[in-house]
Amino acid sequence: HKFPKKHETKRRPLWINFVLAKRAKWTFTSTSHLCSEHFGPEHFESQLSAIPGTSLVGRRILKNDAFFFFNRD
């Protein structure tokens, strides 16, 4: 999931600090992303993981206010 935009002054630093706590040498870039594993099911708009009748898997959409993370090691 893409990091919050620059104007999202509350969420963006939380995301950046979360990654820095795990990876001290990490540097934020405009292409930085976090995987879905760092969010709980309540942080998604859609819980679809498969599209019925097809072999396609739907992308889960993160809610605009999501910023809580699971502490996964």
Cβ-based neighbours of 15, under 8 Å, separated by 6 or more: 3, 4, 34, 67
pLDDT given for residue 42 in this prediction: 82
Structural contact between residues 35 and 2, judged by C-beta atoms closer than 8 angstroms: no
* Sites in the chain below the pLDDT cut of 50: 73
pLDDT given for residue 32 in this prediction: 94
**What sign results for the dihedral spanned by CA atoms 11, 8, 61, 37?**
negative
pLDDT given for residue 41 in this prediction: 79
**What is d(CA 45, CA 47) in angstroms, rounded to the nearest whole number?**
7
